[in-house]
Structure 1
Amino acid sequence: MFGFFSRKSKEASEKKSQAAEDKRGVLVPLIVVPRSKIEQGDGEAFHLVFAVMQFVVTIVSKGLYRHSEINPKAMEVFHADQYSLEVKNGGHSQFIHNAGSEIHTMIANARAGLSACGAKGQLATLEKMSAWIAKHPDEAAKQTGFEGGRDDFLDALDDAFYEADDAMPMEDLLARWIASWPDLQIVDDDNYDDAIDRLVLSNPQREARLFHDSVGKLVRQMLSQREVGAGLACATISPSEIKLGFGMARMLDIEGEKQMVFQLRTDAEELRLCASTKTHVAVYEYVAPEDPPVMRPGDNPLGANAPRVGTLLGRAEQSEIETAIQLSEQNHAPVAVDLLLRKAGFDPLGAIVSANSVAQTAEGPVVNWVVLASDRTFLSLSSPNGSVLLCGEDYEKLAEATMLELGAHFDRSAAAR
């Protein structure tokens, strides 16, 4: 008898301990919104929902808080509204594609938010989508939101979602729920920025995460097949160009075959298009869409106002791309760019890196990277013996780092997650 109560007491204690641990994990318990979003005279619900969305984006992007450290209700609204926005923009197919590896977390949060606010119709479509993903994982992985990457079942769910949202708009329900939160902190508009800044600076992990995120952004640019391939392809254009960043993607026709094509910004004045395949990455001229768009017989409305793929400008073969990525991993190239810029006195956080070439030298293979940071252009050389940062027409050496230094910098970055 006493043993039973003792065991029960222990279980209750464990639950209490777990609850306390969960509470400690939330570093941002209050959700801060400007007073004007509550008192908008037009009665539009989206003002309040947008305020919560904006709060989450700011706290994550500037404060570097993780989603699990933010009041869960804010994340539930965030993902519920994101679900709605994605479906309205490109359907359930687009939502699945854009969610990627975060799909299950997003569905769980959206489910909680839709349940709490009473959006029964939209919750039903979410649940059907979730069940379809579980039953058809291979098909789910093929979804793009564009022609050729849309499942008929998901298109039918889009119609059901619109019908539910017409009957009872999700934003109205979310706004009503948000307004009832006891942990909603309403501040005067003049004080809003200061309130957010205090939250941003109060994150005890922010400085360490700034360091980790700086290296992480470089890793994404320097170890991605599409990113590295686009840089190498741009370097083959005459005159050579520097890859800056990717824009929206569409399924476009390339030599009679539909391919996923991304808008690409380079240091040239014109936009480019980039296609990444299993054998190569290619950069093409961007042919602007007709204005106004012309719908031809048999055209898909989703393809209206789409650009066309023009002349091939540059191309990088998969073998060269793989070599550059492999060498970059071995030689800690992303960490090198971060450390070299810091040594030279420049901020690495917003650096843009474009692969330029792989060269054979007496010291072994060297990967050359064009680095844009602090409104200046640098050249980073990554080799088996270390890395150097050069600048100017005469390639003045600004900083260098040995492999021992790079290994230590890598360890510090990994520990700062």
Structure 2
Amino acid sequence: MLGKLKHLLGGKASAEAFQARKPGGGKRFSGEAPPQEPPAANSAPPRLDRIVVPQSAMDALPDDPAPLVQAIVNYTNQMTGQGRYKRTELPAAAIQAFHCDYYLAQVLNGGHAQFVGNTRALIEETFCDVVEGLRAMGATDYLILARSGQKWVRENPQEAAQQTGFEGGIAESLSRLDGPFYQLNRKTPLQGAIAAWIAGHPQLHVVPDDQLAAELQALALANPERGRRDAILECASIAARFANPLQVGAAMACWRSGEADFLLGLGNGSYRDVEGEQRMAFALRALGGPRFLVPVEGRGVTLYDCIRHDNSHLPENPLKASMDDIRRFRPDELGEKLAEVSEADIATAMALADRLKLGAALHLLKTRIPGMKALPALTIVHAGPSTDGSETFVCSYVENNEAWMLKVGAEGAIFIKPGKDAKPVTGASRAEIDFHAETHRIEGLR
């Protein structure tokens, strides 16, 4: 069946199915008209009134402050992650302690320049939390250093954006704060100050260790805004796939590489020998087997086959490998060149995805596909004018040896299982897509 995919996905049957989706050309697959007004967020934002930590973390004090600080980190991560609470909806002490510990870890690892560089767009609010937390816990000497760093960042935004913590990315003004910080932390550890402050906080709620998971889960699921925010983030994540040149190039290259090859996932990059030069090559999983994707500035991406060598001599546990095992190891190599995608083609696809609001369209279709929990990796079949001249974006994926197609155009979108008749399973009008894009804007989280 997969050997006929290119004919089915790009052929007359699928074109006719899409034409039938246009106004006046077929039934309304969504079954209902788009709503006239977007759903409003709760007038009163959710607020957490307690910081939940395990009894064992309190029992470790004062000798070991680490368990309590780690408990605060775990609490904050679960509430902002699974719970989808905003930073301002958590108890102020929790997010302040969280960011004070983050500040400590970053400075100890690479100085104030690394803290600024790794925090990037969130540096202002993070510094505010650090300053307020240090003030609340009475850590006056640390507060002076943090305020100095905050003042420098505010006065030097362009230079702040260039900080890395490595050579060439360390501002002298920030570097001067590091020595006093290290000396202060040796004399009066900041982690101890954080733990002592939180241990006496009125919003602290201590529970037996065996009840901690249930308490945190209940708090996370209690957020009435959680579902709406999850949907907004998922919609943004789908849209981001088509705003990333590397991901778009990978999705296009797989389709061009051969009969019915599909993108399954894009992995990490490493420097490898590429036709006699050391270049970054990204591991790529495709239906046809492992691949390497190599981006070249100004030229787009090139897809190569992956040559895997027999390394069966290695033990299952790599820590048990001997020096002889390591010397005999042969890493994967780049093989035959399979496809190329130009920078212009990638840019064209990205611009079209933006114009058609592809992220919102695909997210909306995904919500109407029974049983689909997450949208899989997509292969880009077509991005440009269709047979009738209208702009069309076509994606596909394979599941259980069956190919599915998602097609988005100016008039709407459809989800098709290719076959002899290529009938749409579900769809959405342009009005529905535009409404979905408006109500799922990432700005709605702020």
Is the pair's TM-score, using the shorter chain for normalization, greater than 0.5?
Answer: yes
In the alignment, structure 2 segments of 5+ residues that lack a partner are: 1-43, 307-317, 320-330
Instruction: Please tell me whether the aligned partners of residues 146 and 250 of structure 1 are also in contact (alpha carbons under 8 angstroms).
Output: no
Match for residue 117 of structure 2?
97
Q: Does 1:411 align with 2:432?
A: no
Match for residue 4 of structure 2?
none
Match for residue 400 of structure 1?
427
Q: State how 1:127-276 maps to structure 2 within 5 Å.
A: 127-232=147-252, 242=263, 244=265, 266-267=285-286
Cα gap change, 1:140 to 1:36, in 2 (>3 Å): same
Match for residue 296 of structure 1?
none
Match for residue 414 of structure 2?
388
Counterpart-to-counterpart distance in 2, 1:186 and 1:340: 44
Counterpart-to-counterpart distance in 2, 1:241 and 1:151: 46
Cα gap change, 1:271 to 1:156, in 2 (>3 Å): farther
Instruction: Please tell me whether the aligned partners of residues 134 and 142 of structure 2 are also in contact (alpha carbons under 8 angstroms).
Output: yes
Counterpart-to-counterpart distance in 2, 1:86 and 1:375: 47
Cα gap change, 1:196 to 1:222, in 2 (>3 Å): same
Counterpart-to-counterpart distance in 1, 2:400 and 2:91: 35
| Aligned positions, number | 375
Cα gap change, 1:281 to 1:84, in 2 (>3 Å): farther
Instruction: Please tell me whether the aligned partners of residues 340 and 401 of structure 1 are also in contact (alpha carbons under 8 angstroms).
Output: yes
Counterpart-to-counterpart distance in 1, 2:427 and 2:367: 11
Task: Report Cα offsets for 1:185-242 as digits up to 9, x if no partner.
Answer: 1111222222122212221212222222221221222234454345445656679663
TM-score by length of 1: 0.72
Instruction: Please tell me whether the aligned partners of residues 250 and 263 of structure 2 are also in contact (alpha carbons under 8 angstroms).
Output: no
Match for residue 328 of structure 2?
none
One of 358, 362, 365 as aligned partner of 1:337: 362
Counterpart-to-counterpart distance in 1, 2:410 and 2:90: 42
Task: Report Cα offsets for 1:71-108 as digits up to 9, x if no partner.
Answer: 11111111111222233344433332332221100110
Deviation of 1:111 after TM superposition, in Å, equals 1.2
Deviation of 1:271 after TM superposition, in Å, equals 9.2
Task: Report Cα offsets for 1:374-402 as digits up to 9, x if no partner.
Answer: 99974423222322334579877543323
Counterpart-to-counterpart distance in 1, 2:401 and 2:411: 28
Match for residue 313 of structure 2?
none
Counterpart-to-counterpart distance in 2, 1:252 and 1:44: 45
Counterpart-to-counterpart distance in 2, 1:264 and 1:90: 30
Counterpart-to-counterpart distance in 1, 2:129 and 2:271: 30
Match for residue 369 of structure 1?
395
> Secondary structure at the residue paired with 1:336?
helix
One of 24, 36, 60 as aligned partner of 1:40: 60
Counterpart-to-counterpart distance in 1, 2:100 and 2:304: 37
Instruction: Please tell me whether the aligned partners of residues 380 and 390 of structure 1 are also in contact (alpha carbons under 8 angstroms).
Output: yes
Counterpart-to-counterpart distance in 2, 1:271 and 1:122: 50
The structure with the larger Rg is: 2
Instruction: Please tell me whether the aligned partners of residues 214 and 350 of structure 1 are also in contact (alpha carbons under 8 angstroms).
Output: no
Task: Report Cα offsets for 1:14-65 as digits up to 9, x if no partner.
Answer: xxxxxxxxxx656101111122222238932121111111111111111111
> Secondary structure at the residue paired with 1:113?
helix
Deviation of 1:161 after TM superposition, in Å, equals 3.1
Q: Percent identity?
A: 24
Letter in 2 for 1:405: E
Q: Does 1:78 align with 2:98?
A: yes
Q: Does 1:322 align with 2:343?
A: no
One of 86, 96, 107 as aligned partner of 1:66: 86
Instruction: Please tell me whether the aligned partners of residues 293 and 301 of structure 2 are also in contact (alpha carbons under 8 angstroms).
Output: no
Cα gap change, 1:63 to 1:149, in 2 (>3 Å): same
Task: Report Cα offsets for 1:238-263 as digits up to 9, x if no partner.
Answer: 7966374566x9999999x999x797
Counterpart-to-counterpart distance in 1, 2:340 and 2:141: 48
Task: Report Cα offsets for 1:302-353 as digits up to 9, x if no partner.
Answer: xxxxx9x989987644432332222112212111211212222134556545
